[in-house]
Structure 1
Amino acid sequence: MSNRCATLNKLIPFSCVDGPGNRQVLFLQGCNLRCLNCHNPYTMALCDDCGDCVPTCPHGGLSLIAGKVVWDNIACQQCDTCLQTCTKNASPMTKQLSVDSMIQSLTKNVAFLNGVTISGGEATTQLPFIIDLFNEIKQSPTLSHLTCFIDSNGHLSSSGWHKVLPNTDGVMIDLKAWGNECALKLTGRDNQKVFDSINLLAQAGKLYELRLLFIPNQTDYLENIDVLAAFLRQLSSSTRIKINAFQNHGVTNEAASWPAAKQVEIESFAQLLRDRGVTNLHLPNVYL
């Protein structure tokens, strides 16, 4: 067994939207991108224990002990005042989750589960935890049938992927823009590692889903539709191409004023891809 720990933002015991089947999902704290359109900006940074949020909590759910911000999840009323106070895109409402305790949770619920998905933030910023967890799952007679998935922005090196892939069944990757200029504007980093990750995962047969977030007047998919479609066509026909519609709820910066993607825009984008031979497209079920 492993006592390796990760900084956890949230655990969802059962989810049917984070990979195939019914899955237990871990949202790890910390991200290596700074996306303007992030709906969960409080997952970007790790708390630096500055203590600014402690006196603002109206329910006494936070305290500063020995220089560390301590979160009382019993007193906490999930009012998110601390998240609104923090200027660093961090959250004090995290906890350390060990591989052993996660294995216990999965074992307790195994009869209802098809797998586990590690998300974030950015899951791969805490790669050693994922490696140890997936290894323990695959070695467990009780849990080895569960599929192990990673939800990632693709900014992991090839050496990192090679370390985790032996026990990984599938990866979901976001292609947030086509060109580097647009990627830099939206995320703060260029696209090279993302394309490297997509190609590596596709060759390894581990690319379960590639996601395109359509943001009206911001993403550059339409002006690059021919090269985008050609790139998507070379992927396995089993790889899901999921189009997500941008919504501005939860966004805290300039992107809060961007218009939400309408159903007609998403369907038009999808048709352009279909006309160019892209298959296995998945569109949103709900538009807010």
Structure 2
Amino acid sequence: MSATLGLIADTITFSNVDGPGNRFVVFLQGCNFDCIACHNPYTINVCNNCGDCVSSCPSEALGFSLGGAVEWRAEACRGTDVCITTCPWDSTPKARRGDVDDLLAEIRRAAPFLSGVTVSGGEATQQAEFVLALFAAIKADPDLARLTCFVDSNGATERCTWTSLLPVMDGAMIDLKCLDAEIHRSMTGQPNDQVLESIRYLGAVDRLYEVRLLLIPGMNDDPRLLDTTARWLADVDPAMRLKLIGFRQHGVRTGARRLEEPTPEQMQAYEAIFEERGLFRLCVI
């Protein structure tokens, strides 16, 4: 058994939107951002055992341990997710402590159909030691070594995190909420200096697979701001993969449902700005 444990929110055995090809995705619990438009808000915080979810569960799949911690009984769970919608702490009682060997067993079962493994979140780099141990184990396994190892990150981590991962990480996908520092802080609660540094560094060492921009009308879609962003990204690498994602209300917290979704015409206008600055590997969704 591996000595390094991770706090895992969930895993999915097949995804074609979390990196190249068919991917096994590990969602880690805990994030250093509090994004207004988060689509996985239950992965932000770690359960504080308040117990609000226990009595609300229609499956009676939740209880308390002798030590007072909330316990989830997977065999009784019917997947209603009432616990998640009840939680006042943006967390989930379903997160589990798991070691690398546990995940390797899951990955092996799906391996014939996989192109790689992606660790997401939450924020993957918050548990960098676990990510490093998992990727190293994959690369050392003769049956799994062909799988590419990717990180899906908000980029808010120190350079030393990336340097530690470089020997076993094939690529990273970085979310750039906004180039403007104040708007970025209003969207995430945090500054963006480390995010920008991560993009530059990963580009320089050829590990930047993709940059993703979530665009919200009236918040981070000003044409002049997008033009400045496009010029900045083109300076990093005009050949980078860039994904422009229109905000959608599905899955967000109640407070974010007041935000507008961009129209197809707006998305086309956003795309044109980036194309004009020479960014040609664009994907608009």
Do Structure 1 and Structure 2 share a fold, with TM-score over 0.5? yes
Please give the residue correspondences for 1:76-91 in structure 2 after superposition, counting only pairs within 5 Å.
76-91=77-92
- Quote the offset at 1:129 in angstroms: 0.6
The change in CA–CA distance for 1:237 and 1:227 in structure 2 (over 3 A counts) is closer
Q: State the one-letter code of the partner of 1:57.
A: C
Q: State the one-letter code of the partner of 1:25.
A: V
Q: TM-score, normalised by structure 1?
A: 0.95
Q: In the alignment, which residue of structure 2 is the partner of 1:163? A: 164
Tell me which moved more, 84-93 or 102-111: 102-111
Q: In the alignment, which residue of structure 2 is the partner of 1:257? A: 258
Q: State the one-letter code of the partner of 1:244.
A: I
How big is the alpha-carbon RMSD for the aligned residues of Structure 1 and Structure 2?
A: 1.3
Q: In the alignment, which residue of structure 2 is the partner of 1:8? A: 8
The change in CA–CA distance for 1:86 and 1:93 in structure 2 (over 3 A counts) is same
SS of residue in 2 equivalent to 1:13: strand
Q: State the one-letter code of the partner of 2:170.
A: D
Q: In the alignment, which residue of structure 2 is the partner of 1:271? A: 272
Q: State the one-letter code of the partner of 2:273.
A: L
Runs of 4+ in structure 1 over 3 Å off: 235-238
SS of residue in 1 equivalent to 2:166: helix
| Cα distance in 2, alignment partners of residues 106 and 229 from structure 1 | 37
The change in CA–CA distance for 1:221 and 1:157 in structure 2 (over 3 A counts) is farther
- Quote the offset at 1:229 in angstroms: 1.7
Q: Does the CA contact (< 8 Å) of 1:177 and 1:221 recur in 2?
A: no
- Quote the offset at 1:3 in angstroms: 3.4
- Unaligned 5+ residue runs, structure 1? none
Q: In the alignment, which residue of structure 2 is the partner of 1:153? A: 154
Q: Percent of aligned positions with the same letter in both sequences? A: 40
Q: State the one-letter code of the partner of 1:30.
A: G
- Quote the offset at 1:227 in angstroms: 2.2
| Cα distance in 1, alignment partners of residues 146 and 46 from structure 2 | 33
Q: In the alignment, which residue of structure 2 is the partner of 1:40? A: 40
SS of residue in 2 equivalent to 1:53: helix
SS of residue in 2 equivalent to 1:184: helix
Q: Say how many residue pairs are matched.
A: 284
SS of residue in 2 equivalent to 1:74: helix
Tell me which moved more, 233-242 or 84-93: 233-242
| Cα distance in 2, alignment partners of residues 238 and 63 from structure 1 | 52
| Cα distance in 2, alignment partners of residues 116 and 237 from structure 1 | 27
Q: Does the CA contact (< 8 Å) of 2:59 and 2:76 recur in 1?
A: yes
Q: State the one-letter code of the partner of 2:3.
A: N
Q: State the one-letter code of the partner of 2:248.
A: Q
Q: Does the CA contact (< 8 Å) of 2:227 and 2:273 recur in 1?
A: no
- Quote the offset at 1:219 in angstroms: 0.9
Q: State the one-letter code of the partner of 1:151.
A: D
The change in CA–CA distance for 1:207 and 1:32 in structure 2 (over 3 A counts) is same
Tell me which moved more, 200-209 or 260-269: 260-269
- Quote the offset at 1:220 in angstroms: 4.6
- Quote the offset at 1:88 in angstroms: 0.9
Please give the residue correspondences for 1:38-77 in structure 2 after superposition, counting only pairs within 5 Å.
38-66=38-66, 67-77=68-78
SS of residue in 1 equivalent to 2:91: coil
Please give the residue correspondences for 1:1-288 in structure 2 after superposition, counting only pairs within 5 Å.
2-66=2-66, 67-220=68-221, 222-284=223-285
Q: TM-score, normalised by structure 2?
A: 0.96
- Unaligned 5+ residue runs, structure 2? none
Q: Does the CA contact (< 8 Å) of 1:3 and 1:98 recur in 2?
A: yes
